[in-house]
Structure 1
Amino acid sequence: MFLKSLSGRFLMLTVAFVMLAEVLIFVPSIARFREDYLLSHLERAQIASLALLAGEDMIDDALEQELLRNAGVFNVVLRRDQARQLVLSSPMPGEIAESFDLRADSSLDLMRDAVLRLLDPQDRVIRVIGQPVQDAGLLIEVTMASGPLRMAMIDYGLRILALSAVISVITASLLFFAVRRILVMPIRRLVDAIQSYAGAPEDNRRIIEPSSQVSELREAEIALQSMEHQLTSALRQKERLAQLGGAVAKISHDLRNILTTAQLFADRMENSQDPAVKRAAPKIVGSISRAVNLCETTLAFGKAEEPPPALNRIFLAAIVNDVVDSERLAAGDHDISFSEDVPAGLVLRADGEQLFRVLSNLIRNARQAIVASGRTGEINIRADEDLHEWTIQVADTGPGLPPKARDHLFQPFQGGTRKGGTGLGLAISAELIRGHGGRLALERSDGEGTVFVIHLPKGVAIHEAAAE
């Protein structure tokens, strides 16, 4: 669990990177240690040889062997005055396997030889050539065993490894606590603030107050604070609108009952023989009818969210015929013609009841617009399909939509298409089509008529908007 946290992963990465850096330092360090080891043996061998030269024949064989053991070599060769002289010697355990000239080796050569020596477990006899100290000759050459050198290098490497581990742990711990205090703890506070706000988003006291000293985290806190303010305001507005909607629904319900009673009396007034009453009665009936219609549409819109469509395979022609028959009866004596261009075998996946409501609303709006214009007109319903979607077009030859209606076409209480309309019909129709994953669009509206198009996808698709 700890390794999945930001602190744990940062700690492990810090240890890994510090160890990697130590490994990169280790190779040059061990090469330097090997060079110093060989140079120290050359120096001790030179001192031993100078002691022998100073005493000449005064040093016996036992003392010579002791000098060689102290120097850690088998023999010593000095080159002085252009002459090569074997100064100290002892029996060697084997032939010379390799020679190393420290005067000519580069840094890369030293590192390569150090790595090879660590990887070679055999104890070999090697020759080492170097420059005598204090210019005591032209060169010094010794033979020695490689085993002690390798053991000394391993011991040095282990000490370097232990020191690296200590440095890694200390560095990682310091960085861990620093990052935890500077970064992890502010992030934890930010998460706690989000969770606290989510518990009661209406409570202003739970809105975060920016306090981080890290600029990026402070920007995140400021953005979160702004979002929480907006969300709290939106929730309050939504609650007020819900309460207002409930009140309006209750008022509309009671008002509809009152207006229905008034409508019955107004119908009787039409039979009155009083000329003034007969002239006023139609206007009263019309006003009451519009008020009743407003109450009914408000109640419908104020109900709970529309249920999801029950998608089934339906024949579109049958639904269009039912809607057209109803509107043809409603048109009565008005000179309005209806035409249908829907293939008899066209089958689509939709909720038949909801699609009937949408088509009924569009065709009724078209009929009412033509009747209001006082002219003859035609309403055409046409359907088609392609590989991706079904399209249903409702076109009329009415006067077109007023500018206000076009600007707020699918907005409730703003997009009414006729005088006295509420715009709820189109808003509800657009919502029903959105439930099918499609969209209801106004294709054209001008002096020659209006065309609405319903787009229903055949597959799952993402649409930018349900109404354009």
Structure 2
Amino acid sequence: MRHLAARILNTLSGRFLLLTVAFVMLAEVLIFVPSIARFRLDYLQLRLEKAQIASLSLDANAGMIPAELEQELLANAGVFNVVLRRDEVRQLVLSSAIPEPVSATYDLRMAGPYELIRDAMVTLFDPKEQIIRIIGQPVQDAGLLIEITLKQSPLRREMLDYGLRILILSALISVITAAMLFFAVRGLMVVPIRRVVRHMQAYAAAPEDARLVITPTARVVELRDAEAALAQMQTELIAALRQKERLAQLGGAVAKISHDLRNILTSAQLFADRIEQSADPGVARAVPKLVTSISRAVNLCEATLAFGKAEEHPPRLSRFALRPLLEEVAEGEGLSPGSEPSCLIDAAPGLMIRADDEQLHRVLANLVRNARQAIEATGRSGTIELSAGEGEQDWWIRVGDTGPGLPPKAREHLFMAFQGAARKGGSGLGLAISAELIRGHGGRLDLLRSDEDGTEFLIHLPKSGGLDLSAPEAAV
């Protein structure tokens, strides 16, 4: 039973039920306080009116009534004595023995809401037997004021009885209201939400089954919008999965073709190397172009095969000086401050970073090679700049050039394989693989700018996260 109750309270409808009961009870409490104060005021006003009526019998008998009748009149009014003030004269009209001194005096003529609520709470929570004096305004303007003394305990009992009735009625209203809202919310919200959840679970088990796409049927606008959005997402995901499957099949076929084509082109490259030794001037002029074309085709096949395997190992992080790596990359591309294009390196000799030096070398070599080829394609001189530094959260490496900038299509699909080629004849695999390697480090590769003044890439490598192999192992 306890587990069932806990399960119900953890549901949306169960929590809504609790909130409904709590807020209804809060509203009833806010109603109860002024109601009990009003009840006390009406009770005391009624005693004043009865006392005034009892005093009229004294006037009717010329101020002379038997003592027994006087006590009966006071008992019917529920008071000990009655004082009237007329024409600035205070007159004790009816009186009897008071069992104890008066403990408190309440003037109803000047009492506002705050005073009435305060006095009601004092009366309600004060169980002591005591005598109180009440001052009020006589009805029908029969004097300046009327004053009575009475016991507080009967008033408190009446107030407790009235308050108990209000609380019972409030609890009943709360239960009925909460139950009605519980079933209303269950029918309007919980049941449609559960339907959406069941559709999501069924779709997750078979995401390619188009029959499991939800059909929006909810009558609540927000839920219907959610179902429509889910249906659109499921439809788009089915299309994406089918396209991905077709691309995977196509990729397998391309990989096989690239493998065989690479073997064929490798043989052709060997023959081209032999032809290059020919003494024929025409052949000597044509062979370099042939060798270049075959080399590009071989490189494309190898890049395609490497990208299709998707077997890049996780980065093996270690700490090393960055500047020697930048110099090695520049030297590998045949670049120096005096070369054409020239290469400038701006990195502190003592700058240490934590990364996979082999993978970072591949990324930087790819960016520098692209920059060199872009400048060479213009036939003009240019500069490639490699700079690096560090902040509180990461290390950064900037690769900039003074080339012609990237074409709009290349910028749009920059890090997408086979779509982000920056030059004619390129595959776009280099930048895609570079971005993937940097993401493996927990960093990112961004294009800062690309216009007629050149192109700048920025690499961010985070300092936190990963495993520092140069650091000693923490004690267990």
Q: Distance between the aligned counterparts of 2:135 and 2:398, measured in 1? A: 99
Aligned partner of 1:349 in structure 2 is 354
Q: Kindly state the Cα deviation for residue 90 of structure 1 after the two structures are TM-superposed.
A: 3.2
**Residue in structure 1 matched with residue 3 of structure 2 by the alignment:** none
Moved more, 206-215 or 422-431: 422-431
CA-to-aligned-CA distance 1:246-294 (integer Å, 9 cap, x gap): 2111111122223333444455556679999888766655544433232
- Where do residues 355-370 of structure 1 align in structure 2 (5 Å cutoff)? 355-365=360-370
Structure 2 match to 1:314? 320
Q: What is the CA distance between 1:81 and its match in structure 2? A: 10
Partner of 2:472: none
Report whether the alignment pairs 1:385 with 2:384: no
Q: Which runs of 5+ in 2 are unaligned?
A: 1-5, 466-476
Q: 1:351 to 1:93 in 2, by over 3 A?
A: same
* TM-score for both structures, normalised by structure 1: 0.77
Q: Is the 8 A contact 1:98 1:127 kept in 2?
A: yes
Question: Could you tell which deviates more after superposition, 407-416 or 350-359?
Answer: 407-416
Please point out which of 171, 174, 198 is paired with 2:204. 198
Q: Choose the corresponding residue for 1:455, options 459, 464, 467.
A: 459
> 1:90-239 counterparts in 2 under 5 A?
90-100=96-106, 102=108, 105-129=111-135, 141-239=147-245
Q: Pick which of 229-238 and 364-373 moved more.
A: 364-373
Once the two structures are superposed, residues 344-384 of structure 1 have per-residue CA deviations (whole angstroms, 9 ceiling, x without a partner) of: 655432222113323443455566667777x7978767444
Give the match for residue 435 of structure 1. Answer: 440
C-alpha separation in 2, matches of 1:88 and 1:401: 110
Taking the TM superposition and a 5 Å limit, the aligned residue runs for 1:400-415 are 400=404, 403=407, 407=411, 410-415=415-420
Query: Which runs of 5 or more residues in structure 1 are unaligned?
Result: 330-334, 462-468
Q: CA RMSD in A?
A: 4.4
Q: Secondary structure at the match of 1:93?
A: coil
1:107-151 per-position Cα deviation (integer Å, ceiling 9, x unaligned)? 554434333322332322334455666788886554322222222
Cα distance change of structure 1 residues 8 and 383 upon mapping to structure 2, 3 Å threshold: same
Residue 32 of structure 1, aligned match among 32, 38, 45? 38
Query: Could you tell me which residue of structure 2 aligns to residue 332 of structure 1?
Result: none
Cα distance in 1 between the residues matched to 2:146 and 2:385: 111
Structure 1 window deviating more from structure 2 (3-12 vs 58-67): it is 58-67
Is the counterpart of residue 18 in structure 1 residue 24 in structure 2?
yes
Q: Which letter maps to 2:254?
A: V
Paired with 1:16 and 1:352, the residues of 2 have a C-alpha distance of 63
1:212 Cα deviation from its structure 2 partner: 2.0
Contact 2:41–2:116 at 8 Å: present in 1 too? yes
The match for 1:465 is none
427, 431, 441: which one pairs with 1:426?
A: 431
The residue identity in structure 1 corresponding to 2:186 is: R
> What is the distance in 1 between the residues matched to 2:243 and 2:206?
16
CA distance in 1, matches of 2:29, 2:107: 27
What residue in structure 2 maps to residue 297 of structure 1? Answer: 303
Partner of 1:439, secondary structure, is strand
- Deviations 1:219-239, CA, capped at 9 Å, x for gaps: 233233333333332232222
Letter in 2 for 1:193: H
Contact 1:441-1:454 within 8 A present in 2 as well = yes
- SS of the equivalent of 1:348 reads strand
CA displacement at 1:27 relative to structure 2: 2.9
Measured in 2, the distance between the counterparts of 1:369 and 1:108 equals 85
Contact 2:341–2:376 (Cα < 8 Å) also in 1:
no
> Helix, strand or coil for the counterpart of 1:173?
helix
Map 1:68-87 to 2 at 5 A.
Answer: 68-76=74-82
1:50-61 matched pairs, under 5 angstroms: 61=67
Deviations along 1:83-118, one digit per CA (max 9) or x if unpaired, are: 876565433212344444555655554434333322
| Count of residue pairs brought into register by the alignment | 451
SS at match of 2:98: coil
Q: Distance in 1 between matches of 2:54 and 2:226?
A: 74
Provide the rounded CA distance (Å) in 2 between the counterparts of 1:82 and 1:416: 108
Larger of the two Rg values belongs to structure: 1
Residue 464 of structure 1 corresponds to which residue in structure 2? none
Letter in structure 2 aligned against 1:455: I
Asked if structure 1 preserves the Cα contact closer than 8 Å seen for 2:326 and 2:386, the reply is no
TM-score of the superposed pair, with normalisation by structure 2: 0.75
- Retained in 2: the 8 A contact 1:363–1:379? no
